[in-house]
């Protein structure tokens, strides 16, 4: 069984894990695999995603990923992401962790820091202010960064998408995606105690084993 911490009222506190990385890194696949593995150990797991994960956030998901908010500029786009995140945290993440559940989220604050901050040029002060309002004290216990060269990730994303239209971020050029990869790696170097960097260019099973090793080592499963 995993070790847990006690919340202020004496109940066992859950854990909050996030997956980050560029397009086509395999985040959704690894979220599902990790959740299944934890459930084998008797852990109650909630899987979720951003943007989305709660009624209000899901309502904003289409606006953000369709590109409808792009014309408003990066600052406004970051504010919309923060609004979706605030609803997500309040309605799903915070209550689940407080109840002793493990929450695994496909993208969280680091995606905003990279997509809107690094490549969108939103000022760090605004990013920090939006995090303070939308997230508060709810920060990931562990962030698993699935790292993959941008060209390979985009190739996977294209194959997965088939004839469907690329979303707001997938359609960007390769140079922008490489800058995002560099941005994620810079965040991981700045916070090594929170991040575990996984080579996502490997096959699915190998990546899953690397993820499991990092979770066991960091969170003492």
- As a whole number, the mean pLDDT across the chain is 91
Stretch among 70-74, 80-84, 133-137, 196-200 having the lowest mean pLDDT: 70-74
How many domains in the chain?
Answer: 1
Give residues with Cβ within 8 angstroms of 40, minimum separation 6. Answer: none
Average pLDDT over residues 43-49: 97
Domain that holds residue 25: 5-219
Q: Is the pLDDT reported for residue 90 higher than 50?
A: yes
pLDDT of residue 6: 52
3-state SS class at 202 = coil
3-state SS class at 41 = coil
Do 153 and 22 form a contact (C-beta atoms < 8 A)?
yes
CATH of the domain at 11: 3.40.50.300
185-202: per-residue pLDDT in tens?
Answer: 999 999 999 999 999 999
- The Cβ of residue 76 has, within 10 Å, a number of other Cβ atoms equal to 13
Q: What is the DSSP string of 57-71?
A: HHHHHHHHHTTTTGG
Identify whether 7 is preceded by a cis peptide bond (ω within 30 of 0).
Answer: no
- The Cβ of residue 138 has, within 10 Å, a number of other Cβ atoms equal to 18
Do 146 and 203 form a contact (C-beta atoms < 8 A)?
no
Q: Is the pLDDT reported for residue 42 higher than 80?
A: yes
Please name every residue paired with 182 in a beta bridge, in sequence order, or none if there are none: none
94-117: per-residue pLDDT in tens?
Answer: 999 999 999 999 999 999 999 999
Cα separation, 221 vs 216, in Å, equals 5
128-149: per-residue pLDDT in tens?
Answer: 999 999 999 999 999 999 999 9
């Amino acid at each position: 069984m995993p070790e847990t911490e006690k919340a202020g009222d004496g109940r066992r506190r859950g854990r909050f894990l996030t997956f980050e990385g560029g397009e086509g890194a395999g985040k959704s696949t690894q979220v599902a695999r990790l959740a299944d593995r934890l459930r084998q150990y008797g852990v109650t797991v909630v899987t979720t995603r951003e943007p989305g994960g709660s009624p209000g956030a899901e309502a904003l998901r289409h606006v953000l990923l369709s590109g409808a908010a792009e014309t408003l500029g990066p600052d406004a786009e970051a504010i919309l992401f923060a609004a979706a995140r605030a609803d997500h945290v309040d309605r799903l993440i915070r209550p689940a962790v407080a109840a002793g559940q493990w929450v695994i989220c496909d993208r969280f604050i680091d995606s905003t820091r990279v997509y809107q901050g690094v490549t969108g040029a939103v000022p760090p002060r605004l990013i920090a202010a939006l995090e303070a309002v939308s997230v508060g004290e709810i920060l990931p216990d562990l962030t698993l960064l699935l790292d993959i060269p941008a060209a390979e990730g985009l190739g996977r994303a294209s194959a997965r998408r088939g004839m469907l239209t690329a979303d707001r971020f997938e359609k960007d050029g390769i140079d922008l995606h490489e800058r995002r990869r560099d941005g994620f790696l810079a965040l991981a170097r700045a916070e090594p105690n929170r991040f575990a960097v996984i080579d996502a260019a490997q096959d699915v099973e190998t990546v899953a084993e690397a993820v499991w090793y990092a979770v066991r080592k960091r969170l003492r499963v």
